Amino acid sequence: MPTMQAPRTALREDPTRPAALLMRHVTKTYDGAVTALDRVSLQVQYGSFLAVMGPSGSGKSTLLHCAAGLDSPTSGEVLVGGTEISRLNETKRTLLRRDRIGFVFQSYNLLPSLTVEENIALPLRLSGAAADRGWLDELVARVGLGPFLRRKPGEISGGQRQRAAIARALAARPEVVFADEPTGALDLETAAEVLDLLRGLVDEFGQTTIMVTHDPHAAARAHATAVMADGRIDQYCVQPTAEELARRLTLLRAPRPGPPLDRP
Amino acid sequence: MKTMGRRAGSGARPRLFAFAMARDQIGGLVAVACAVFGGAAMVTACAVIGETGLTSHASPERLAAADILVAARQHHPVPEDLDPPLRERVTIPSELVEVVAAVPGVAAAVGDLTFPASILSLEAPTEGHGWASAALGGSVLDGTAPEGPGQIVLDAAIATDAGLAVGERTEIATAAGTAEYLVTGVVDAPGSGVYFEEATAAALAENPGGEVDLIAVAVEPGASLADVAADIEAAGLPEGLIVATGEARGDVEFFTAAATRGELVAMAGSLSGTVLILVGCVVAGALSVSVANQRRDLALLRALGATPRRVRRLVAAQATAVAAIALVPGIAVGHLLAGAFADALTGVGLLSEALPLARTPLSALLAAALMLPTAQLAARGAAMRISRMPATEAVAESRVEPREPSHLRVRVGLVLFAAALAQSLLPLFTRSEAALVSTATGALMAIVGLALAAPALVRALTGHAARRLSDRTGAPQWLAVSNSRTYALRTAGSVTVLALAVALTLTQLYTQTTVERAAAADLEAGLRADATVTGAAVGGVAPAEIAELADEPGVTAAVPMTSTTVLREYEFAGDRWAESYAAPAFGPGAEQVVDVRVDAGDLADLAGESIAVSTATARVWGVDVGDEVRLVLANGVAVRPSVVATYERGIGFGSVIVSTDLLAAHSGARLFEAVLLSGDAAAATVWASDRPGLDVRAGPAMIAAGPGSSPERWINLLVSVALLGYVLLGVGNSLVASTSRRRGEFAALRLVGATPRQIRSMVRREAVLLSAMAIGAGLAISVPPMSLLGLGFTGRPWPQGPLWPMAAIAAAAAVIAYAATMMPTRRALGEPPAAVLGSGD
C-alpha cells in the first residue's frame, strides 16, 4: 500500500492520529460488468498534497468520488479521518461531507445568486455552525478576494471564481479537500496561480488535499502523484517532475490501444 | 423518436442519444401534449360554435311546404358595425303578396301571420296562423276549412293533446280576449298551430297597417325554383327583403334562432382570438420545458455535426409528432366541450334550440391547421438559441440573470396602477354600465401595470425580506430569499401570470355578483305591487283582461308589464351606430306599482309615445326630460318617443323603460308577461278564479331587465374560468421548466453540504414566497376596485358575493406553485449530485 508522507516541515506528527484518508481494497463496478476501480488501497496522511493522474477511463474520477463519499464502493472500505464512510446512507454521507470534506471543481459550481462572501460562508450556514470570522477573514485575505466579496460570481473572472471555490472548500476546516481538475477551465497563467494557492494552503495551513488532474505540470506541484491505469494505481511517484510524469503517462498509454469506456 | 434516428444519421451513437433523449424528456413532452390537448379542445369548441353561427340552419317545419319564403331582414343595418339582431318579427306590407303572386311561375303566394292563440284546456301556449299558409302545402284535411270568425282548424298533434275532435267547441285565448270557437277540421301538417280564417287571423294579429309577417310561395309544377326566386327578387320588392329557398327557409321561419347566429360568430371570433394567444403562449412555454430538458443532448448533437437547422428540425418534428397525437383526444373533447358550451348558451338564450350544432370535420381540420403549425413554430422558436450556440457553450451555459429592471418600465407600471385606481373610483359617482366598464378596464390596466412593475416590486419585497434575515436565519430560508431576489425577473414572470389569473377571475366574478346584488336590491326596493297576475299557460295576459281587472272593485291600478329590446341610434365620429338595450315596458299607472326612484319628470306620464331613462344613461345619451329620442323597436320600427322621467334604479330596472302604448302603436298583437296590481290582492284572486290560464300571486313579480340579468356576463365568467385552468397549466409548465433547470444548482449545494431536506425546504419556501406574492398581488389588484364597486352599487364596501371563490383561487394558485416546483425538485434530488455535475448540466 503506497503511503503518502508529507514533508517534515508541514507535518504535525501524531502517531495516535489516523490517516486523513484510508482506502482499503476498494472496488467499484458499474452494472456488475464495468470495473472502474479494482481493489485500490491508498493512505493519505494529514497535511499532504496528493495528485491523481491517469488516462481517461483509468478510474481517477471514480477514485475521487468514492474517497469523497459522493459514491459508495461496491466493496472495500473508505475511512476519512478514521470514520468509515462507505456504508453510510446518503443523508449521513452528506452530513459527513459537510463537516469533513471540501470540494473544488473544474466548473467552480458557485451559486450565482449569492455574493462571493456568501458563497464562501455557505457551508457554515448550511451546517448551522457559527462562522469563525477570524478564520474566514484570514482565508479571504489568503486567496486574495478581499475587494470582490460583495460581487456575484458572474461579475468576476474564472481565476477569481476558482479562488472563491477554494476558499469555500476550506471554510469549514475540512479534513480533506478534494479538487477535481481545478485548473481544467483556466488558462496557463491563471492555472499556475491557482496551483500556487493550493500548494500554499497545504504548506501554510497543513490542509490535506487530493487533486485529480490530467496535467503533469499541475501534478508536479503536489507532494506525490498516483498514476492510475485500468482501475488500479499503476505507479506512485514522490515529488516527480512534470517531464517525468509526462513520460510515464506516454509509456502507460502506448501499449494499450483503444480507450476504455469512460464513466461519469 | 424515429425521426431522431432518421435525421441524425444511422450510427450507433445517435440512436443511443435518441433512446436516452426519449427517456429524459418524457416530462417535457407530456407538458407539450397537455398544452396541445387543451388548446385543441378549446379551438375545436370555438370552431364548432363559430361554424354553427356561419352555416347552421334551423330546418323549416310549419312552412316546409312553401317553396319560397319572402321576409324582411331581422337585422337593423348599421354601416360600421355588426348589424344588431331584431328580436321581434319585422313585418312587411300586405300589398307585396299581390306583387309576388303576379310573378310568373308562382302558383300561390300567401301572407303568413303568427300571433298568440292558446287553447285554454291545453294549458300550454300555442300560436295562431291564417288557414291559407297551411293549405299551401296541400296537407290532408279532415273536415272543412274555417269559413267564419268563429271557426278554426287544429293541427292534429294539438287536437290530440287537447282531446278535441271535429265539431267540438273550445275556448281560445288571444290578445283580443278569450272566445269560443268551433273546430271544423283537423289538419295533418308539420309544426303546430291553430288555423283561423284569413280575415279573423288578420284581425287577431292586430298589425297596425295590416302587414303580414312573411310571404309563403308555392311554385308551379315544372317551374324552376331558382328562376322563380330570382324573378321574385327582380319583381321590384322594397329593400331589406330576403327571398329564401331550401334550408334558408328555416332561418325565416325561426327568425329568433337565425338572429342569434351573427352573435355566435362574433362570440366565437373574439373568443378564438383570446384562445389562440393563450394556446400559443402555453404551447411555447411547454416546448421551452422540453427543449431545456434536452439542452445537453441537443448540444451534443451539434458537436456530432448536426447543423443548427437540423437541430431545430428535429425539435420541431418531435413537437409536431407529439402535437398530432394529442390532437386526436383534444378534438374529441373539444366536441364534448362545444356541446356543453352550446347548452350553456341555449340556457341563457344566446343559442336557439332550433339551431343544430355544426359538427363537421371542418372544426377538426381547423384545430389541426392551427395547432400543428403553432407547435412547429413554437418548437423552432424554443430551439433557436440553443441551436445557434457553439456546442461547447451550450453545454456550459451560465445561468446568471444579468438584467436590472428598467426604471422606465417600473414608472410606466406605477402610472398604470394610478390610472387603474382612478378608473375604479367611477362606481362611487355613477351607478351605471359605464362604471362597470370603467372598473373592468381598470382591472386590465392594473394587470398590465403589474406585469411591468413586478420585477422591481419582487426585488423590493425580497430585499425587504432579505434585510430581515440575520445570521441566525436557517440556511433554507436565507437561500430561498436570496434566490427569489436574484432571479427577480424569473420570479416576477411567474408571480405576474399567477396574479393575473387570480385577479381576472375575481374581477369577472365579483363584477357579476355585485351587479346582481345591486339589481336585486333595486328590484326589492322598487317593486311595490300588491299582487301580480301572470298567464304562463296561455302565453301571457291579454290587454282586454287587464282593462277588466282594472275595473274590479278593490283594484286601484293594473299595470301591464313586458320585456323588450330597443336600439338607440346615434352618431359618433361621423358614423351611425346603434346600441341595444334590454328594456321593460310598463303600461300607464306604473308609478303606482314600481318605485324606480325618479330623479326628474314623472313616471305617471309614461303613456303614449314615451319612455323613461335611467339617470346615468340619460347623462351618456345627453338627453333630459322632455327631449325626443330616436329609437328602433325590436321589430325594426323607428320611433321618436319623448323622455318623461329619469330614474336612479337603473341597475335593477334597466337603462330604459318603455311605455306599452309605444309598443302597441307600432307592433301587432301582444300578451303581457305580467300585470302588476296595486290594491286588494284577494279581489284579483277572486277575479282570476273563473279565468283559466291566469295565476295571481301576492306581492310583486321579479322582473329581469337591468344589466344584472345580462346572460353574456355568465358566459364570460364561464369562459374565463376555463381559460384560467389553461393559464394555470401554462404557469405550472414554466415553473417545472425553471425548476428542472436548477439541477446543477441543487447538485452544487449538495456538494457544499446541503442535505436533500434542506434543499426541499429551500424550494418549498421559494414556492411559498412566490405564491404569497402572486396571491397578494392578485388580491391587491382585484379587491380594492371590487370593494369600490360594492360601495358604489350596494353601499357595502367589500366585494359583493360569496367569498369562498377568493380562497379557492388562492388555494389553486398556491397548489400549482407548490406542485410545479416540488415535483421536479424531488426528481432532481433523486440523482447523485456528482453525476449531475459530471454531466456538465
Tell which of B469, B742, B751 to mutate to test the A interface (max A CBs under 10 Å): B751
Stretch B581-609: mean pLDDT: 92
B142, pLDDT greater than 60: yes
Interface residue B755 vs chain A (CB under 8 A): yes
**Which pLDDT band, with edges at 50, 70 and 90, does A257 fall under?**
very low
Pick the more confident residue, B374 or B138: B374
A7, pLDDT greater than 70: no
Are B670 and B175 contacting, i.e. CB atoms less than 8 angstroms apart? Answer: yes
Give the helix, strand, coil percentages of chain A, each rounded to 5: 40, 25, 40
Stretch B784-800: mean pLDDT: 89
Task: Tell me which H or E stretch contains B314.
Answer: helix B308-347
Task: Tell me which H or E stretch contains B258.
Answer: helix B255-293
Interface residue B485 vs chain A (CB under 8 A): yes
Closest residue in A to B754 (Cα) is A126
Residues of A in contact with B458 (CB under 8 A): none
Rounded to 10 degrees, the C-alpha dihedral B484/B488/B492/B494 comes to: -50
Predicted confidence (pLDDT) per residue in B78-112, tens digit: 877 778 888 899 999 999 999 999 999 999 999 99
Residues of A in contact with B13 (CB under 8 A): none
- The grid cell for B812 is 389553486
Count of residues in chain B: 841
Give the position of cell 291600478.
Answer: B557
Pick the more confident residue, B57 or B233: B233
Task: Tell me which H or E stretch contains B151.
Answer: strand B151-155
Q: How far is B35 from chain A (nearest CA, A)?
A: 31
Q: Kindly give, in sequence order, each residue whose CB lies less than 8 Å from that of residue B669, ignoring residues fewer than 6 positions away.
A: B115, B116, B174, B175, B176, B204, B205, B206, B207
H-type alpha helices, B635-710 = 650-653, 660-666, 681-688
**Which pLDDT band, with edges at 50, 70 and 90, does B612 fall under?**
very high
CA-nearest of B565, B578, B50, B542 to B256 is B565
Tell which of B470, B478, B752, B831 to mutate to test the A interface (max A CBs under 10 Å): B752
Q: How far is A256 from chain B (nearest CA, A)?
A: 24
Question: Cα separation of B92 and B106, whole Å?
Answer: 19
Which of the residue ranges B47-51, B354-358, B412-416, B440-444 would you say has the lowest mean pLDDT?
Answer: B354-358
In chain B, the percentage of residues whose pLDDT exceeds 70 is 92
Stretch B44-50: mean pLDDT: 89
Question: Cα separation of B505 and B717, whole Å?
Answer: 8
**Which pLDDT band, with edges at 50, 70 and 90, does B404 fall under?**
low
**Nearest beta carbon to residue B483 from set A65, A98, A113:** A113
Give the helix, strand, coil percentages of chain B, each rounded to 5: 55, 15, 25
Rounded to 10 degrees, the C-alpha dihedral B711/B717/B722/B723 comes to: 120
**Chains A–B, number of C-beta pairs less than 8 Å apart:** 88
Which of the residue ranges A160-169, A191-200, B345-354 would you say has the lowest mean pLDDT?
Answer: B345-354
| B620-629 CB burial, b ≥16 within 10 A, e <16 | bbebebeeeb
CB contact under 8 A, B757 and A91: yes
Predicted confidence (pLDDT) per residue in A124-147, tens digit: 888 887 777 888 888 888 888 888
Predicted confidence (pLDDT) per residue in B473-521, tens digit: 788 888 888 888 877 777 887 888 888 888 888 888 888 888 888 888 8
**Nearest beta carbon to residue A126 from set B398, B475, B482:** B475
Residue ranges of B 453-482 with Cβ closer than 8 A to chain A: 471, 474-475, 478-479, 482
In this prediction, residue A133 carries a pLDDT of 83
Are B371 and B32 contacting, i.e. CB atoms less than 8 angstroms apart? Answer: no
Question: Cα separation of B385 and B374, whole Å?
Answer: 18
Give the position of cell 448551522.
Answer: A128
Cα dihedral sign, A180-A186-A191-A194: negative
DSSP A107-155: T----TTS-HHHHHHHHHHHHTPPP-HHHHHHHHHHHT-GGGTTS-GGG
Residues of B in contact with A110 (CB under 8 A): 748
Stretch B811-831: mean pLDDT: 90
Are A229 and A256 contacting, i.e. CB atoms less than 8 angstroms apart? Answer: yes
* DSSP SS3 for B47: helix
H-type alpha helices, B468-612 = 475-486, 488-526, 543-551
Interface residue B745 vs chain A (CB under 8 A): yes
**Nearest beta carbon to residue A113 from set B475, B486, B834:** B486
Interface residue B13 vs chain A (CB under 8 A): no
Backbone angles phi, psi at B532, to 5 degrees: -130, 135
Residue ranges of B 144-163 with Cβ closer than 8 A to chain A: none
Closest residue in A to B836 (Cα) is A264
Q: Which residues pair with B174 in a beta bridge?
A: B117, B177
Stretch A22-32: mean pLDDT: 86
Please name each of the domains of chain A with its CATH number.
3-253 (3.40.50.300)
B8, pLDDT greater than 70: no
B4, pLDDT greater than 50: no
**Which pLDDT band, with edges at 50, 70 and 90, does B19 fall under?**
very low
Task: Tell me which H or E stretch contains B716.
Answer: helix B711-740
CB contact under 8 A, A154 and B402: yes
Residues of B in contact with A122 (CB under 8 A): 475, 749, 752-753
Predicted confidence (pLDDT) per residue in B270-306, tens digit: 777 777 777 777 787 778 777 776 777 777 777 777 7
A259, pLDDT greater than 60: no
**Nearest beta carbon to residue A114 from set B396, B482, B487:** B482
Interface residue B749 vs chain A (CB under 8 A): yes
A69, pLDDT greater than 70: yes
In this prediction, residue B1 carries a pLDDT of 36
In this prediction, residue B841 carries a pLDDT of 37
In this prediction, residue A241 carries a pLDDT of 86
Predicted confidence (pLDDT) per residue in B650-707, tens digit: 888 889 999 999 999 999 888 998 999 998 888 888 888 888 888 888 888 766 555 5
CB contact under 8 A, A95 and B756: no
Predicted confidence (pLDDT) per residue in B560-580, tens digit: 999 899 999 888 878 888 888
**Nearest beta carbon to residue B487 from set A91, A113, A128:** A113
Which of the residue ranges A12-21, B18-27, B369-378, B557-566 would you say has the lowest mean pLDDT?
Answer: B18-27
Q: Which residues pair with B118 in a beta bridge?
A: B173
Averaged confidence pLDDT in chain B: 84
- The grid cell for B111 is 301572407
Are B133 and B112 contacting, i.e. CB atoms less than 8 angstroms apart? Answer: yes
Closest residue in A to B400 (Cα) is A112
Pick the more confident residue, B405 or A220: A220
C-alpha distances out from residue B521 to B526, B561, B706, Å: 8, 20, 12
Rounded to 10 degrees, the C-alpha dihedral B725/B31/B815/B280 comes to: -40
Task: Tell me which H or E stretch contains A232.
Answer: strand A232-238
Are A101 and A68 contacting, i.e. CB atoms less than 8 angstroms apart? Answer: yes
Q: Kindly give, in sequence order, each residue whose CB lies less than 8 Å from that of residue B551, ignoring residues fewer than 6 positions away.
A: none
Interface residue B756 vs chain A (CB under 8 A): yes
Residues of B in contact with A114 (CB under 8 A): 479, 482, 486
Predicted confidence (pLDDT) per residue in B153-169, tens digit: 998 888 888 899 999 99
Question: Cα separation of A26 and A76, whole Å?
Answer: 4
CB contact under 8 A, B744 and A128: no
Backbone angles phi, psi at A238, to 5 degrees: -95, 125
B400, pLDDT greater than 70: no
Predicted confidence (pLDDT) per residue in B706-719, tens digit: 554 556 667 777 77
Q: How many helices (H) and strands (E) does chain A have?
A: 8, 11
| B112-121 CB burial, b ≥16 within 10 A, e <16 | bbbbbbbbbe
Stretch B29-48: mean pLDDT: 87
| A134-148 CB burial, b ≥16 within 10 A, e <16 | eebeebbebbebeeb
C-alpha distances out from residue B218 to B226, B238, B322, Å: 13, 21, 56
pTM over 0.80: no
**Nearest beta carbon to residue A105 from set B486, B755, B837:** B837
